[in-house]
């Protein structure tokens, strides 16, 4: 929602999602890294079995990802990058201007949907563990055991996924009951490129990063996906259904467009920031 892909969107499967980036109606799944820093050091090149053509995406952190079909030749990739060089440079420059400053790690606290959890590093022996000690709207996250930054990032991500399941799943159930929609199940993921989705089988998939948004924004996203159970498109009837249950959806949608700014960088970073 805050960038875009140059890919032609024809041929997308009937699977709708709201993206952290703009315009993408059918995300890439699967695939494996392929020459991640070649031929351009700032470009991550990924092979996707589902890709039918070359596409490029600039993420909010200024990372550039090029998705290529399995049989694409290096010269095709080079030509594609040259052809879109100006667009890529413009988008990267824009992302770099608005990218938040480096964050300290470990964080002193983590804010989740109105809750504030203070992070306390207690050290000690044994395996690395994170223990919740609730107190009011939030509490203390006690980190015990020997730890490195990499291990702590992994542990915090695991904790966040658990927190997302316990907070988001009941919210989907409550809102589904309120709007009179039946869904199949809830799936929680940690993704860079979409906030949520609804499959043709009624599975509501939500990004754990939603925990860093205001509760009203989260509810809007959930209602949006629940309406896709009945309308697997973005037709006029779909938006009428959304507005019936969420009259303020336009303002909330605009807020969600910038929602990635609320997501801490450690959630995806592999190393300390400089």
The full DSSP string for 66-111 is EEE-TT--HHHHHHHHHHTHHHHHHHHHHHHHHPPPP--SS-SEEE
The pLDDT of 214-243, averaged and rounded, is 97
Number of domains present in the structure of the chain: 2
User: Out of 2-16, 32-46, 177-191, which region has the weakest mean confidence (pLDDT)?
Assistant: 2-16
β-pairing verdict for 185-189 and 109-112: unpaired
Q: Is 91's pLDDT higher than 60?
A: yes
- What does the alpha-carbon distance between residue 19 and residue 204 come to, in Å, rounded to a whole number? 14
Residues 92 and 117 in one domain: no
Q: Is 218's pLDDT higher than 60?
A: yes
- What does the alpha-carbon distance between residue 209 and residue 99 come to, in Å, rounded to a whole number? 17
The last residue of one of the domains, among 46, 66, 98, is 98
Q: Is 10's pLDDT higher than 70?
A: no
- What does the alpha-carbon distance between residue 78 and residue 99 come to, in Å, rounded to a whole number? 27
Residue 40's pLDDT is: 46
The last residue of one of the domains, among 79, 98, 117, is 98
Kindly indicate the confidence band of residue 39, based on its pLDDT and cuts at 50, 70 and 90.
Answer: very low
Q: Is 3's pLDDT higher than 60?
A: no
Residue 271's pLDDT is: 62
- What does the alpha-carbon distance between residue 125 and residue 182 come to, in Å, rounded to a whole number? 47
- Greater confidence, 61 or 208? 208
- What does the alpha-carbon distance between residue 183 and residue 230 come to, in Å, rounded to a whole number? 10
Q: Is 211's pLDDT higher than 80?
A: yes
Residues 82 and 171 in one domain: no
Tell me, yes or no, whether 2 lies in a domain: no
Locus of tokens 């990267």: 92
Residues 122 and 161 in one domain: yes
Range of the domain at 80: 16-98
Residue 36's pLDDT is: 35
Residues 93 and 120 in one domain: no
Peptide bond connecting 192 to the previous residue in cis, omega within 30 degrees of 0: no
Share of the chain above pLDDT 90, in %: 59
Tell me, yes or no, whether 156 lies in a domain: yes
- On average, the pLDDT of the chain sits at 83
Residue 5's pLDDT is: 41
5 bridge partner residues: 57
Q: Is 44's pLDDT higher than 50?
A: yes
Q: Is 37's pLDDT higher than 70?
A: no
Q: Is 17's pLDDT higher than 80?
A: no
The pLDDT of 240-248, averaged and rounded, is 97
Residues 115 and 94 in one domain: no
The pLDDT of 63-80, averaged and rounded, is 90
- What does the alpha-carbon distance between residue 21 and residue 193 come to, in Å, rounded to a whole number? 6
Evaluated on CA atoms 117, 119, 122, 123, the torsion sign reads: positive
Residue 272's pLDDT is: 57
Tell me, yes or no, whether 7 lies in a domain: no
17 bridge partner residues: 197
């Amino acid at each position: 929602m805050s960038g875009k892909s140059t890919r032609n969107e024809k041929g997308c499967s009937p699977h709708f999602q709201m993206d952290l980036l703009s315009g993408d109606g059918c995300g890439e799944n699967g695939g494996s890294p392929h020459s991640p820093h070649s031929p351009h050091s700032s470009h991550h090149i990924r092979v996707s079995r589902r890709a039918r053509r070359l596409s490029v995406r600039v993420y909010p952190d200024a990372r550039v990802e090029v998705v290529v079909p399995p049989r694409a030749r290096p010269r095709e990739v080079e030509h594609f990058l040259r052809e879109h060089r100006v667009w890529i440079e413009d988008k990267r420059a824009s992302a770099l201007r608005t990218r938040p400053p480096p964050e300290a790690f470990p964080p002193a606290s983590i804010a989740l949907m109105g809750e504030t959890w203070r992070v306390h590093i207690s050290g000690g022996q044994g395996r690395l563990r994170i223990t919740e000690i609730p107190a009011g709207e939030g509490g203390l996250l006690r980190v015990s055991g020997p730890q490195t930054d990499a291990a702590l990032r992994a542990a915090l991500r695991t904790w966040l996924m658990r927190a997302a399941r316990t907070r988001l799943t009941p919210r989907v159930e409550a809102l589904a009951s309120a709007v009179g929609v039946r869904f199949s199940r809830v799936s929680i993921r940690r993704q860079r490129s979409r906030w949520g989705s609804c499959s043709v089988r009624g599975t509501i998939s939500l990004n754990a990063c939603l925990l860093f948004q205001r509760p009203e924004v989260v509810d809007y996203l959930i209602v949006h996906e629940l309406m896709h159970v009945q309308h697997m498109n973005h037709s006029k009837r779909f938006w009428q259904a959304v507005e019936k249950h969420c009259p303020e959806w336009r303002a909330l949608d605009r807020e969600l467009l910038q929602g990635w700014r609320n997501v801490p960088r450690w959630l995806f970073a592999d190393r300390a920031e400089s």
